[in-house]
Amino acid sequence: MKFKVAILPGDGIGPEVMDAAVAIMETLAQEYQVALEVSSHLVGGASIDEYDSPLIDDTLQACYDSDAVLLGSIGGPRWEGLPHDKKPERALLGLREALGLYSNLRPAKVYPAMVEASSLKPEFVRDTDLVVVRELTGGIYFGEPRGYDAQQGWNTLIYNREEVERIARVAFDLAGRRRGQVTSVDKANVLESSQFWREVVHEVQGDYPDVTLKDLYVDNATMQLVRQPSQFDVILTQNMFGDILSDAAAMVTGSLGMLPSASLGEHYALYEPVHGSAPDIAGQNMANPLAMIASVGMMFGTTCNLPQAEQILDKAIEITLADGFRTADIVAEQGEPVSTTEMRDRIAESLRRLMEEKRITASPA
């Protein structure tokens, strides 16, 4: 299989974590016979420094020409004084808009070795492995009319059938590759737009007889998320509820440096860590590369349609953590942190070990 990836390392720790992720991507590609074609481009502050723009047409074209985009992180104090439309972060919005990325997938997984890192009690977070599927380009953040005057402020929450159907399909497809449960989160007891959302989601479920569907009101869903997050598999929700729920779900895992994400559209896909450019630790080889590495895993599972590659990488992360290797952000009280590059090498080593075991098991005795 041929596969073109546009690499946008960006700013701060972006290039450091990207370097680690690309090494892992190459190891996986070799194992699963994917012929990678990789091109690297400046974005964000790095692009401003070189081209006076956070996202130039050539970079965008490279994304259009690729099967997937891998993005590191964008921004930093150096560019903070720039006017709003010149800021590095404009590149993110520009990419999402230009690539038509209407769904955002944010997994929150608590690895057994990391149970203590959560701010919740271990017995409540153990076995948590969920994904929030958030609608990204519709709903109240974009609805018209909107505005405010001296007496009132107003926004419009509107979803049309096509928007709900396509995001519901993303959630059902994903659940079909996971544990087969979708929880659709809405506020159908108060909002007509949510009653409509609920009806359409149930219609779509008709095409997915193997996936179960449960509805939850957003207030109850929030409560359940902090009460017992392990009950969820895929949470499907609209833009604003997803914005809030995905951050809450992230905190359940307790470590920003480990959260990957995917943003998908009809034709394009972008994978990036949830964290920012972490200027406080940039250039020190101490960033946690696992969020970026796990984003590569999502790319293999989703765009390359090789879930076995995503699973083996996930297992490699799990055993590396269980072996006690941690970067400074997640190191246990008495532990010695490893560097970004050492974490990369440890994951690569775990991966090679798992692949070797797989070959031995697969070969006839």
- Options 29-37, 174-182, 194-202, 275-283: segment touching ligand NAD (CB under 6 A): 275-283
Confirm if 292 and 274 have CB atoms less than 8 A apart: no
- H/E stretch holding 121 reads none
Rounded least distance, CB 246 to ligand NAD, Å: 13
Q: How far is the CB of 255 from ligand NAD (least distance, A)?
A: 8
Tell me: does residue 257 bind ligand NAD (CB under 6 A): yes
Contact residue for ligand NAD among 6, 18, 56, 74 (CB under 6 A): 74
Examine residue 256 and tell whether it contacts ligand NAD (CB under 6 A).
Answer: yes
Annotation marks residue 11 as catalytic: no
We find the least distance from the C-beta atom of residue 279 to ligand NAD, in angstroms, to be 6
Q: Which listed range, 32-40, 46-54, 225-233, 280-288, lies at the site for ligand NAD (CB under 6 A)?
A: 280-288
Type and span of the H or E element at 122: helix 122-125
Note if 187 is an active site residue: yes
Q: Choose which of 99, 133, 278, 319 interacts with ligand NAD (CB under 6 A).
A: 278
DSSP per position, 292-336: HHHHHHHHHHHTS--HHHHHHHHHHHHHHHHTT---TTT--TTPP
Q: Measured between alpha carbons, how far is 286 from 282 in angstroms, rounded to an integer?
A: 8
CA-derived radius of gyration, the chain: 21
302 contributes a contact to ligand NAD by CB under 6 A: no
Contact status: 233 vs ligand NAD (CB under 6 A): no
Catalytic residue among 19, 243, 314, 345: 243
Determine contact, residues 44/54, Cβ cutoff 8 Å.
Answer: yes
Longest CA span, the chain? 79
58, 65, 127, 219: which one is catalytic? 219
130 or 294, CB closer to ligand NAD? Answer: 294
Q: In this chain, which stretch among 106-114, 231-239, 273-281, 305-313 interacts with ligand NAD, using CB under 6 A?
A: 273-281
At 85, give phi and psi (nearest 5°). -80, 0
Active-site hit among 187, 215, 271, 329: 187
The site that binds ligand NAD (CB under 6 A) totals a number of residues, namely: 22
- When the beta carbons of 75 and 139 are compared against ligand NAD, the nearer one is 75
**Residue 87 appears among annotated catalytic residues:** no
Integer CA distances (angstroms), 218 to 16, 152, 175, 207, in order: 38, 26, 20, 25
Instruction: Indicate which residue of 58, 65, 207, 247 is catalytic.
Output: 247
Residue 323: closest CA among 8, 111, 26, 9:
111
Exactly one of 41, 90, 275, 326 binds ligand NAD (CB under 6 A); that residue is 275
Is 219 a catalytic site residue?
yes
According to CB under 6 A, which residues from 82 to 141 bind ligand NAD? Answer: 89, 92
Question: DSSP per residue over 11-63, as a string?
Answer: STTHHHHHHHHHHHHHHHHHHTT-EEEEEE---THHHHHHHSSSS-HHHHHHH
Backbone conformation region of residue 128, classed left if phi is above 0, alpha if psi is from -120 to 50, else beta: beta
Rama region for 358: left / alpha / beta (φ>0; ψ in -120 to 50; rest): alpha
Judged by CB under 6 A, does residue 19 bind ligand NAD?
no
Sequence letter at residue 320: T
Residue 291 interacting with ligand NAD (CB under 6 A): yes
Residues 327-346 contacting ligand NAD, CB under 6 A: 329
* Smallest separation (angstroms) from ligand NAD to the CB of 19: 13
Selected from 47, 66, 73, 253, the binder of ligand NAD by CB under 6 A is 73
State yes or no: is 141 an active-site residue.
yes
Whole-angstrom distance, CA of residue 312 vs CA of residue 310: 6
Do residues 157 and 140 make contact, with C-beta atoms less than 8 angstroms apart?
yes
With respect to ligand NAD, which residue has the nearer C-beta, 203 or 247? 247
Q: ∠ CA(75), CA(80), CA(81), 5° rounding? A: 150
Residues interacting with ligand NAD, by CB under 6 A? 13, 17, 73-76, 89, 92, 256-257, 272, 275-281, 287-288, 291, 329
* Residue numbers annotated as active site: 141, 187, 219, 243, 247
